[in-house]
Amino acid sequence: MSSADSKRLVIDASVATSTGERGERGERCQAFLRVMIDETYHRLVMTREIGEEWDIHSHPFARRWRRSMNAKRRVDRPNAYHDAAFCLKIERASQTEKALVAMEKDLRLIEAARVTDKRVISLDDTARSYFSAVSSQVGELGGILWVNPVNDDETPIQWLTDGAPIEEQRQLRP
């Protein structure tokens, strides 16, 4: 894979936090980040809001990894703006207050993905399912990929080393 094939990945702080967990979950999050930095040219998307959450919740492994990504100049800092019309579409499409709260919590990930390469890496399968459920009414969500780095069925490391391609089963779709 060449640097020209690299993708910009929005990585949720849930991944950074979980790198400190003992057991399989922590190991898988660490492995995903190691492969990303050592075997690919993919870039980390770090908006101000996402960076603040990483600052609060990151385990030392994730902090070192992020510093290494910075040193390699593989961090993009886009201005992901808050799109009120987009948020209103999500609010109107939401079936429950619980779903809306979950989506609002992770909306910064979606906003960052929309202005970069449309790829979110997160452990939050609940928010993922809510976004998928409203994607038929909020068309902008349909092209966004959501990958859980600890879910074996998703073969996240293989996907990463294959160039993080667009694959229909990873897209936010109902």
The strand order across the sheet containing 8-11 reads: 75-76, 43-45, 8-11, 119-121, 145-147
Q: What is the pLDDT of residues 51-96, one digit of tens each?
A: 999 999 889 999 999 999 999 999 999 987 788 889 899 999 998 9
pTM: 0.94
Q: Which CATH architecture has domain 3-170?
A: 3-Layer(aba) Sandwich (3.40)
| Domain residue spans of the chain | 3-170
Least confident of 1-5, 110-114, 125-129: 1-5
73 vs 90: CA distance, rounded Å? 34
List Cα–Cα distances, 60 to 64, 130, 174, in angstroms: 6, 31, 37
Task: Residue 164: name the closest of 36, 50, 29 by CA.
Answer: 36
Strand partners, 43: 8
Q: What is the mean pLDDT of the chain?
A: 93
Q: What percent of the chain has pLDDT over 90?
A: 84
Average pLDDT over every residue of 22-40: 96
The per-residue pLDDT for 15 is 96
The predicted structure's pLDDT at residue 3? 62
